[in-house]
Structure 1
Amino acid sequence: MGKRIIIDPITRIEGHLRIEVEVENGKVKDAWCSGQMFRGIEMMLKGRDPRDAHHFVQRSCGVCTYVHALSSVKAVEDACKIVIPDNARLVRNLMHGAQFQHDHLVHFYFLHALDWVDIVSALDADPVKTAKLSENVSGYPQKSEYFREVQERLKTFVASGQLGIFNNGYWGHSAYVLPPEANLMAASHYLEALSLQAKAARMHAIFGGKNPHPQFLVVGGVTSVADLNVARIGEFEAIWKETCEFIDKIYIPDLLAVASFYKDWGAIGGNNEAFLAYGDFANDAKEENKLMPGGFIRKGLAVESMDPNRITEDVTRAWYEKGTPKHPFNGDTKPIQGETNYDTNNQYSWLKAPRYDELAPEVGPLARVLVAYGKGDPAVKKAVDQVLKKLDIGAGALFSTLGRTAARGIETQLIGNAMGGWIDTLKSNIDKGDKKTYQPWEMTDKARGFGLNDVPRGALGHWIEIEGGKIKNYQYVVPSTWNFGPADAKGNKGPVERSLIGTPIADAANPLEILRTVHSYDPCIACAVHVIDPHTNETYKVQVI
């Protein structure tokens, strides 16, 4: 029997995540993901006005801000056969694009980069060589004095006995391979990203009133009509341009520079069973054409059309009353009564197990990029091929932790570029006197509808059944459920569980390699890791960021 390593909690805004793996001969032999908190918002919605649903579901997560509200209003619009005005589509696209830009920047620099960047090593860097590296990597002019100043700030942290915001890492771990100068460059850009992400978040406040949970969405369109003027659009555009410049000149070059030292991770953390993308960023009001196309991949890069009728949720390994797999329209949320016993051979998670054609597809940036690439999308194909050439790796490396991280950067840049066209079209509509943002409608007495979006973390769907003008049933399947869900009745594991199998572990007391793959799916991270060795009953407590 191998060693069991337990990382608990790995938290997200909507709950806590527990990762347990079995390690044998220095590699992960088996893995289990467990969602440790019960959501239950679906139960609160029964009997309520469908127009109020998005206010409730939006509170599922403070990181994803408005994306649940977006899927919710689209579900009601689908049920009531509402086609929103073009301006509403453009504002929704811009707000969604702003979400991607902000979320992916935050993920790379604050949630994932420190799995690859050794902050303490930066203390040994030569600031002059760091400036030269920065110039060679990105062409972004940063003088050696700047890097020396950042280095002195880090030294002050260390001398005081702590590393401030960089405290409690795995510094010095053998899996870190970046040279000191690359670590100093990345640490400096981490600090710059702190300021930039705050500005990027303001884009949501311009058309949405606030962030998180902007209040501009309504079934039938948006309420931003008073903001459709030169000054407000110009304010949004200025922040968008600054964010795009950071992405182009710092984020993407940093991503490629770090990846060039970790090309072995192009063969680690892969999941090639299946990939699913709903697609997003409609180019027309009826959503018949999208910037990011939808599709389903079983193996390789052959893309099938996506049919939402093939989606089911299995509860065999979850803490719910037993039942057969159900489509979300027929789904229910019935937690088991009494104590929840964690048992990896039985029930071990509050997450259900979503399946598409009985397969467990990965969702998120990699799935979207692979679907677009497989469909021959020119912009995506060009961007992916450039990355593969730059890193001198084959297309097979896309199916990995490295590929997942690279895909996130690729789509951040592509979506950012597309936002310029939406801004120009919105300006043109306003110049023509078109300021319509809402389509009047009437509530249906009885209907079903669903709203599908691809959000930063992956495929998000909301399903609603209306009867008597009220909510009879409501279900939603979120990206975290797709990726972190448990095994199903047939023993078929979820994407993250499969991705972890085969991961090399250098030190069981410092499982950095596990976190690299888990973080590549973009969870939010907790403050403590507990590692248990079942052979000695010794418990390791390791603080991480």
Structure 2
Amino acid sequence: MSERVVVDPITRIEGHLRIEAEMDGETISRAYSSGTMVRGIETILLGRDPRDAWAFAQRICGVCTLVHGLASARSVEDALGIRLPPNAQLIRNLMIGAQYVHDHVMHFYHLHALDWVDVVSALSADPKATAELAQSLSSWSKSSPGYFADTQKRLKGFVESGQLGIFANGYWGHPAYKLPPEANLMAVAHYLEALAWQRDAARLHAIFGGKNPHPNVVVGGVASPIDLESDSALNAKKLAEVQRVITAMQQFVDQVYVPDTLAIAGFYKDWFQRGEGLGNFMCYGDLPATGSMDPATYLFPRGVILNRDLTTIHDVDLHDAAQIQEFVSHSWYDYSGGKQTGLHPYAGQTTLDYDGRGGVKPPYKQLAVDDGYSWLKAPRWQGHAVEVGPLARVLLLYAKNHAQTRELVDSTLSKLDLPVSALFSTLGRTAARTLETKIVVDQMQGWYDQLIANIRSGDISTFDATRWDPSTWPAEARGAGFMEAPRGALGHWIVIKDGRIANYQAVVPSTWNAGPRDPADQAGAYEAALQDNHQLADVKQPIEILRTIHSFDPCIACAVHLSDPQTGERLEIKVT
């Protein structure tokens, strides 16, 4: 066994992720990504009414609290040929947009920024100089010397008490940190502001879906009847609140998030030269302009980019068994046709790979990388490992000559004095997420204005009931429900027989990105990114690994699914 740097668990993510990196001196030569947690949503759905699937599927994850519910509803709508009323599509777009803005801001400040921001260094900052720095970046109102002095005082109280609280267990003082104290103090202040801001951002889901997390969804539309005079429906007061939330989102993105990303990136320009890996990117497409799921109307275009070639976009067909397949040759699963087989999700299986000892357990010393080493499968598009997520979407938009994307990307790279190739990197991934947030939050205003115009014209329909009755369904149907979740391409595939779910498979963004090697020994996106120009300054504090893994915004809970084929149990917990 070779010497490896092991990070287990990777913190500041949802779920459990283990990274092992083989070292060649100070450089990572090979990396292995292992999902070490199991779930059982897919098998729970078997035999159920397809109209109820969203309520179960949405619980796959508690971070993206909307996307699995919508992908599930879309799978049923695809299978049954349901077209949404325009208002329902607009409301769904607004809910998806709110998820993006909320999720991306939270990722930047609370899950990723501390890889670049030295919290303890902020104690030595000059509040007056910090205010001058902040005021030079934007017109955000909370940028006075007194405000930053108060933030510094709060932070000092944490440190002097010996309890850093939310800032505990960081690699503070690590030589890889480069920000001056004033930039660190500004970022810490905005970290704390974002904690409060997110409460407001989450209100939009509650308005349209009745609650957050896990807002209500319905096959054929949305659970938001429109009646301007009713307290129990989407009325004038609630619509005014939606406008207020959109405005607040835009202000925070424009005056805090975007300027902070540019300010921090300017000190770490070397990270625009490492951490890409695959060079292949995929987007299912999303945010349609009409009630149909016509790819020609999507804000985010559908397609695949191979080998960084932005001049050629390859088509994606989610129904084609030759295009999308999942492999388990390096997973703790088995297929009836053997572990080297690739299965399309319509024929997907979720079966534990028994080893004659009562099951397979993750090792505690070193992963058996020549065999199974993850609860994640390895999905591939036409045999290619691909990256999904904000970078893929921004690259597709850029390649399709989307005007706002071109302007944002080119102006950002110009300010940082970087070429377009800088996008293919760890910080390129982080910057793409920020620019995407700007694109989405601006688009939300247009969707809202269109919804208001429809209501004023007398159109208040939000639900299509024409295929609600199972007696109108075919004996067998199958559908692919997809969307672009904040972390990337998300697909739910459903097979319906005699009005019940006969098979259900979810292939999620973190399966695409965090999955293990395939039978051809192709690395997954996480693994390939870590193998791309990574040197560790201190193997006992591998902040470089955290920076690149966190740039994907990992969320592992949705990527692992398990059922015990011998007992039927999904998960057993023993308390000793």
Distance 1:11 1:258, change over 3 A: closer
Q: 1:48 is matched with which residue?
A: 48
Counterpart of 1:464 (choices 494, 511, 524) is 494
Distance 1:292 1:468, change over 3 A: same
Counterpart of 1:317 (choices 311, 318, 330) is 330
Residues 115-149 of structure 1 show CA distances to partners (whole Å, capped at 9, x for unaligned) of 00001111111111111100111233411111111
Paired amino acid for 1:135: Q
- Measure the CA separation in 2 of the matches of 1:269 and 1:13: 19
Alignment of 1:389-538 (within 5 A): 389-440=414-465, 441=467, 442-443=469-470, 444=473, 445-501=475-531, 502-523=533-554
Q: 1:530 is matched with which residue?
A: none
Paired amino acid for 2:178: V
Alignment of 1:44-443 (within 5 A): 44-141=44-141, 142-215=143-216, 217-226=217-226, 227-288=233-294, 289-300=297-308, 301=310, 302-308=312-318, 309=320, 310-321=323-334, 322-323=338-339, 324-337=341-354, 338-341=358-361, 342=363, 343-440=368-465, 441=467, 442-443=469-470
1:51–1:73 contact (8 Å) kept in structure 2: yes
Residues 334-356 of structure 1 show CA distances to partners (whole Å, capped at 9, x for unaligned) of 11233325411110001000000
2:74–2:219 contact (8 Å) kept in structure 1: yes
- Measure the CA separation in 2 of the matches of 1:418 and 1:99: 13
Q: Structure 2: any 5+ residue segments left out of the alignment?
A: 227-232, 558-576
1:32 equivalent in alignment to 2:42? no
Displacement after TM superposition at 1:462 (Å): 0.5
- Measure the CA separation in 2 of the matches of 1:433 and 1:233: 16
Displacement after TM superposition at 1:173 (Å): 0.2
- Measure the CA separation in 2 of the matches of 1:348 and 1:24: 22
1:122–1:183 contact (8 Å) kept in structure 2: yes
Distance 1:484 1:40, change over 3 A: same
Distance 1:14 1:392, change over 3 A: closer
Paired amino acid for 1:293: P
- Measure the CA separation in 2 of the matches of 1:57 and 1:472: 15
Distance 1:365 1:102, change over 3 A: same
- Measure the CA separation in 2 of the matches of 1:521 and 1:161: 32
- Measure the CA separation in 2 of the matches of 1:58 and 1:387: 36
Q: 1:540 is matched with which residue?
A: none
Q: 2:570 is matched with which residue?
A: none
- Measure the CA separation in 1 of the matches of 2:486 and 2:155: 32
Displacement after TM superposition at 1:229 (Å): 2.4
Displacement after TM superposition at 1:257 (Å): 0.2
Displacement after TM superposition at 1:524 (Å): 5.4
Paired amino acid for 1:303: I
Name the count of aligned residue pairs: 525
Residues 341-386 of structure 1 show CA distances to partners (whole Å, capped at 9, x for unaligned) of 5411110001000000101100000000011111111111111111
- Measure the CA separation in 2 of the matches of 1:297 and 1:13: 27
2:12–2:111 contact (8 Å) kept in structure 1: no
1:3–1:24 contact (8 Å) kept in structure 2: no
- Measure the CA separation in 1 of the matches of 2:49 and 2:12: 29
* SS of alignment partner, residue 287 of structure 2: strand
Identity value in percent: 53
* SS of alignment partner, residue 464 of structure 1: strand
Given the two structures, how large is their TM-score scaled by the length of structure 1?
0.94
- Measure the CA separation in 1 of the matches of 2:502 and 2:256: 49
Residues 505-530 of structure 1 show CA distances to partners (whole Å, capped at 9, x for unaligned) of 0001001010000100102599xxxx
1:107–1:522 contact (8 Å) kept in structure 2: yes
* SS of alignment partner, residue 291 of structure 1: coil
Residues 271-302 of structure 1 show CA distances to partners (whole Å, capped at 9, x for unaligned) of 24310001111111112211111110012213
Q: Structure 1: any 5+ residue segments left out of the alignment?
A: 527-545
- Measure the CA separation in 2 of the matches of 1:24 and 1:43: 42
Displacement after TM superposition at 1:198 (Å): 1.1
Residues 79-129 of structure 1 show CA distances to partners (whole Å, capped at 9, x for unaligned) of 100001011001100000000010001000000000000011111111111
Displacement after TM superposition at 1:433 (Å): 1.5
- Measure the CA separation in 1 of the matches of 2:360 and 2:39: 15
Task: Name the stretch that deviates more: 317-326 or 167-176.
Answer: 317-326
- Measure the CA separation in 2 of the matches of 1:407 and 1:273: 15
- Measure the CA separation in 2 of the matches of 1:390 and 1:9: 36
- Measure the CA separation in 2 of the matches of 1:265 and 1:525: 24
Paired amino acid for 1:172: G
1:35–1:350 contact (8 Å) kept in structure 2: yes
Paired amino acid for 1:391: L
Displacement after TM superposition at 1:2 (Å): 5.8
Paired amino acid for 1:279: G
Higher fraction of strand = 1
Distance 1:262 1:146, change over 3 A: same
* SS of alignment partner, residue 37 of structure 1: coil
Distance 1:166 1:12, change over 3 A: closer
Q: CA RMSD in A?
A: 1.5
- Measure the CA separation in 2 of the matches of 1:170 and 1:11: 12
- Measure the CA separation in 1 of the matches of 2:503 and 2:541: 45
Displacement after TM superposition at 1:15 (Å): 3.3
